[in-house]
Structure 1
């Protein structure tokens, strides 16, 4: 089983132990403000391969590479003016920017799934300090079995991957609770590849242009979180529920009553007062609780498709999508 180190009690030991395991070429679970990540040296192909093996993740699905600062990021990738402006405005934070790799970049092709671009993010807090101490970028998808519910606590990671990895660094619950927003600049146009913890309106304000959306799932996988079926619990998922059938789990949003909720196996509310930030922070934990209740179906009431609601609804639609 994985060793768990509480970074709030011994930050120095956590960094030393993390660097040691990373240096041996093995992935570790690290806390970030979005979700917990399964991190390994982005320049080491054996280490990256272990991420895919541990998660059971298809290798055509690229990994986000996490950096300590913009200076480190520019060693590996090239930033156009719009991407640089976004980086300077929102890093560290829940924004991933897809940019071209520099020629002969040390980031290994396994991390980028062979693409000539790379998704880069600067995480807040401890993860950035760990990367700075390690001295190499970390490829880090969410620390969960591929396609399943993302982990927002060390306990989630331990329950899912605890027998497959050596180390989990524990910083408590993730503050944002959904993965980063992913954007890409192409020919001066700004595209949204995945909604996430940074709302679109803030990105548009800094970029000075609209954030274009594809309107449907893309056939080309350019960034993580673009698979049609993703973030899925074991139970089936039903969206926009206005009533509950007996034995279903209910995950509600807001104060509006849901008919039949008294017959639900479990009732959880993402935010009774309709706060989307609170809802995002609770989303994956409540999905795990509802799944553990034994209900065959998890019913979600409607969440407004605005602000952080765009990211929440993206996750819910992918959780509800047909599974292969």
Structure 2
């Protein structure tokens, strides 16, 4: 078994062949998707799945998302697929939408945290697609980082966080979207948005009708829904109308995550990361996790984050910031 954690270029055919072999033999491969880098294994191999949890130090009650390259793979993973699910697949697959579906018994309980449902998506990134097809197995893959920390959006982030705990890292460059997939469920009495992402609530509603955003207490068994997640080591506070950028305790070394171009008062911060000078939410989402990592690496006393309008993709950005944030004491 390869245990080097080395980074290899995903553009080479031999890299995909090697990575697929590692997956089939029960190993772990970090690979790029359009959202973030995933830590992949054979979803039907319980020992390999257990290695993912061990490598990430991920609690067993947090289920994994299973990645497929074609709809035919769902036959071996799910019991039934509703008409609404089919419509969403037609509209958004391949892409950053995860669907919660009734699972078959052959799917290891560790993958689904013992639940009767399985989270499945079809990534659009060509490297992810090629790896799944070459491995010829569904790939279970949470984000390729230590549990609870900021998700990785480039190969070096994976190496910095997991090192020798991953057998191989496919370097496919920076991720295009930068936030994890949207998770939706058609299982209940009405369509639910379980985790916001690049596919917005409004876009889903156009396909299946009115969608409700599930209450936090009902989504704890969905990937990435713990109250504190995607978190920096440095305490982070989200600025509000009562805590403007220029007001912070004297003597505090702080960094600022700014949504738009800098304004007055920001000279009091030691470093500023601007997510989008023009205020474009897609650009902001793409840069979110990398910017948080850069600020976190500078050893400040506290980080401050500017909020954005919580509509469309702004809902996903604010969801990630809230799970990273700690209250100001």
What is the TM-score of this pair, normalised by structure 1? 0.94
Q: Whole-Å Cα distance in 1 between the matches of residues 326 and 102 of structure 2?
A: 31
Q: Whole-Å Cα distance in 2 between the matches of residues 294 and 100 of structure 1?
A: 45
What are the ranges of 5 or more consecutive residues in structure 1 without an aligned counterpart? none
Question: Shift of the alpha carbon at 1:74?
Answer: 2.9
Contact 2:228–2:324 under 8 Å retained in 1 = yes
Question: Shift of the alpha carbon at 1:19?
Answer: 1.2
Q: Whole-Å Cα distance in 1 between the matches of residues 56 and 264 of structure 2?
A: 36
Contact 1:66–1:120 under 8 Å retained in 2 = yes
Question: Shift of the alpha carbon at 1:93?
Answer: 0.2
Structure-to-structure mapping, 1:30-109, within 5 angstroms: 30-77=31-78, 78-102=80-104, 104=105, 106-109=106-109
Given candidates 241, 255, 269, the residue that maps to 2:274 is 269
- Establish whether residue 136 from structure 1 lines up as the match of residue 134 from structure 2: no
- Equivalent position SS for 1:289: helix
Given candidates 230, 253, 263, the residue that maps to 2:259 is 253
- Corresponding residue for 2:212? 212
**Quick one: structure 1 residues 74 and 251, their matched pair in 2 at CA, closer, same or farther if it must change by over 3 Å?**
same
Aligned length: 315
Q: Whole-Å Cα distance in 1 between the matches of residues 153 and 188 of structure 2?
A: 36
Farther-moved stretch of structure 1 (174-183 vs 125-134) = 125-134
Contact 2:61–2:221 under 8 Å retained in 1 = no
1:195-239 CA-partner distances (Å, limit 9, x unpaired): 0121111111111x1211134x22552310110010000000110
Question: Shift of the alpha carbon at 1:13?
Answer: 1.2
- Corresponding residue for 1:2? 5
What is the TM-score of this pair, normalised by structure 2? 0.92
**Quick one: structure 1 residues 296 and 109, their matched pair in 2 at CA, closer, same or farther if it must change by over 3 Å?**
same
What are the ranges of 5 or more consecutive residues in structure 2 without an aligned counterpart? none
- Corresponding residue for 2:148? 147
- Establish whether residue 294 from structure 1 lines up as the match of residue 299 from structure 2: yes
Q: Whole-Å Cα distance in 2 between the matches of residues 225 and 305 of structure 1?
A: 19
Q: Whole-Å Cα distance in 1 between the matches of residues 83 and 301 of structure 2?
A: 49
Contact 1:182–1:195 under 8 Å retained in 2 = yes
Question: Shift of the alpha carbon at 1:299?
Answer: 0.4
Farther-moved stretch of structure 1 (65-74 vs 85-94) = 65-74
RMSD: 1.4
Contact 2:63–2:222 under 8 Å retained in 1 = yes
Question: Shift of the alpha carbon at 1:136?
Answer: 0.9
Contact 2:113–2:221 under 8 Å retained in 1 = no
Contact 1:35–1:176 under 8 Å retained in 2 = yes
- Corresponding residue for 2:192? 191
Q: Whole-Å Cα distance in 1 between the matches of residues 121 and 306 of structure 2?
A: 32
Contact 2:100–2:187 under 8 Å retained in 1 = no
- Corresponding residue for 1:176? 177
Question: Shift of the alpha carbon at 1:321?
Answer: 4.5
Q: Whole-Å Cα distance in 2 between the matches of residues 158 and 25 of structure 1?
A: 20
Contact 2:195–2:225 under 8 Å retained in 1 = yes
- Equivalent position SS for 2:165: coil
Contact 2:34–2:123 under 8 Å retained in 1 = yes
1:272-301 CA-partner distances (Å, limit 9, x unpaired): 100000000000000000001111211011
Superposition misfits of 4+ residues, deviation over 4 angstroms: none
